[in-house]
Structure 1
């Protein structure tokens, strides 16, 4: 999976790394039941000021229910929710310092762009002059000032998305919740808008929490991701951490593409672990130890882009992290090609290779016998 994560300043100590930092949003042991069904199960989570935080999961994982509890549309069955140090568990939605941008955008079709954006301010009885100035400022920020008089049906999907965003931001909430905000956009516009949202969030300094099922969207926009499954948070970390160091087989398979090799631990030292894998057709060597007894059955995750593909054997002659197979399928994607390799053991492996030469010059084709290899740092050992 090719992603384009926005890289933030690595020299700055992030708040979740600072033991003195105080969480801006604190979810404490929150459970939500609908009858006998548990949608969110004993979730605790800390989100810090000015974060762009993503709740990522498939359908039914609990991410939208958790977002609705933050907004106040649902009340927790158990647990507490704090925003900026204040207990919001029993506070109704209209009294929370929170705004929400819905997946459908929910624009009023009979109102102009500026009227849609001004609606919440009028409900709060803000003076007309202040409303006019605030709306003009926000429309300029989302680059829609010249469309102020248009109705929603006269706008493109991306423009309607920005109107909804302006309406959500114009009240200057402490926290903005976004429910699948880019789901209605086409791929090219979605990618463009992802960067626009990140830049806007950094400019305004508002904490964003986005719900999405799209791994690439979460990887691109967020400072951290909480991966949810069946009501639980199974891993929280930066995009790099959850992709490169998944904590479970579920996370490894949910975030991007991955090859899984089953095996058992035969050596475990502080500087390496060796796993014997019959289905890989070789021993798997990882350059760090794992706290697992000899003989433990494990899975080793190797991302497709970390596998090297060649007609020639590796320079060291093969052995560890080196196997052979036959090219069964090739998918040409322009910037990269995907190769489906059937190993001599019968195992199918996916390899992603950048197209540094033109397609007609590529050396590999269907039914070629090839060598696969990867570096000691490429594998991640998973016990669950």
Structure 2
């Protein structure tokens, strides 16, 4: 089948109540003395998922990855892979491989020798070993570099050698610890898509640890956002970005403007929020679990905000007046930092769809920030 033209079927096993999780992390806690690195954490991961553990330094994501690899044992709880409890199985007996940020290639070996190393250790017959190495070289598009040594390769090529070496033993799960951190921005973005395509071809479950929100959003089928050893939210990239379940998730993923307010009206299909400190009312065309009068927060992404020099027809709803404090031109976007009357700042991101603007907005201009009723998300925590 030509994969370039074949229609892709949506991959959402977590929505199927009959689907059986491939990896089950059940009430896992890991402590180091008095420090709790992972706190009673449970996650289900499905076969062929590209699953991301995302969070700031110290949130427990690498500790969890090391427990999946067998380098650390849970203090309590269990980890199952394909129905087998792996909690006490040593690393070398697990059908799991791990790819490190440093790549850890043998400098004295060629590309093909690096890839074949694990197969040699397992005493795989030479013909089969050669065939599998050749298959991996083709998969990562390094066939013509087979005889080169790591120092003769670019950073991206070394990353692909490490990936091929991790995949050649056909593990049930591949763990990736910040695998693209050593690459420059442009190459990292290119490699993210290569990684996705390779994962789809081999059909192996990938679990990646990263602190890079854009990387997680790009490659993942689902993301687990972690905070102090716990899961803040597990969802698809779209759900995480568009419908965060808390201020922590909203603020950790991308840029966001957050307004505290009181629910002045709470209906099944809409809410009205009176912002703290006054100003225009915020109207959202979705209901919430909070009751009228409760304190909530409205989160609005910068790219969902329009910036204009003239006020809208009704400036009393979903409109805030301010002064342009700073401007950042990014080519495809222009970022406006706007200072409000009470000293707060808002950020708006406007797409540069045309080369010239009839009414350019500049520093110290008075502007009106507006957004649609479906643009804000109401957060209760």
Q: Same fold (TM over 0.5)?
A: yes
Who is 1:277 aligned against? 275
Q: Scaled by the length of structure 2, what TM-score is found?
A: 0.96
Flag as ranges the 4+ runs of structure 1 deviating above 3 A: 8-13, 359-362
Q: Which residue of 1 aligns with 2:243?
A: 245
- Three-state SS of the structure 2 residue aligned to 1:282 is coil
**Please, which of 178, 188, 192 is the counterpart of residue 194 of structure 1?**
192
CA distance in 1, matches of 2:169, 2:343: 59
Cα shift at 1:240: 0.4
Q: Pick from 234, 237, 244: which aligns with 1:236?
A: 234
* Between 342-351 and 214-223, the greater mean CA deviation after superposition: 342-351
User: CA shift at 1:317, angstroms?
Assistant: 2.2
Alpha-carbon separation, structure 1, partners of 2:120 and 2:359: 62
- 1:139 and 2:149 matched: no
> Which residue of structure 2 lines up, in the alignment, with residue 58 of structure 1?
56
CA contact (8 A) 1:279 1:347 kept: no
Matched, 1:375 2:372: yes
| SS, match of residue 190 in structure 2 | helix
Provide, for residues 262-320 of structure 1, a one-character-per-residue CA deviation record: whole Å limited to 9, x for no partner. 11111111111111014462111111121222221111100000111111212x32211
Instruction: Please say if residues 262 and 276 of structure 2, whose CA atoms lie closer than 8 Å, have aligned partners that are also in contact.
Output: no
Q: Which residue of 1 aligns with 2:3?
A: none
Whole-Å separation in 1 of the counterparts to 2:111 and 2:9: 41
TM-score by length of 1: 0.95
**Is 1:354 matched with 2:351?**
yes
Q: Which runs of 5+ in 1 are unaligned?
A: 1-7
Alpha-carbon RMSD across the aligned residues, in angstroms, is: 1.5
Cα gap change, 1:28 to 1:9, in 2 (>3 Å) = farther
- C-alpha displacement of 1:11: 6.2
Q: 1:116 maps to which residue?
A: 114
Candidates 147, 151, 154, aligned match of 1:153: 151
The Cα shift of 1:9 comes to 7.5
Residue 358 of structure 1, CA deviation: 2.4
Deviations 1:203-223 (A, max 9, x none): 111110000000000000000
User: What is the aligned partner in structure 2 of residue 14 from structure 1?
Assistant: 12
What is the rounded CA distance, in whole Å, between the counterparts of 1:104 and 1:261 in structure 2? 42
SS, match of residue 80 in structure 2? strand
Q: Is the 8 A contact 1:27 1:44 kept in 2?
A: yes
Correspondence for 1:286: 284
Match of 1:289, SS state, is coil
For structure 2, the 5+ residue unaligned runs are 1-5
Does residue 340 (structure 1) correspond to residue 333 (structure 2)? The answer is: no
> Where do 1:297-308 residues align within 5 Å?
297-308=295-306
Please give the alpha-carbon distance, in whole angstroms, between the structure 1 residues aligned to 2:278 and 2:149.
Answer: 59
Following superposition, the deviation at residue 363 of structure 1 comes to 1.4
In 2, are the aligned partners of 1:280 and 1:345 still within 8 Å (CA)? no
How far off its partner does 1:362 sit? 5.9
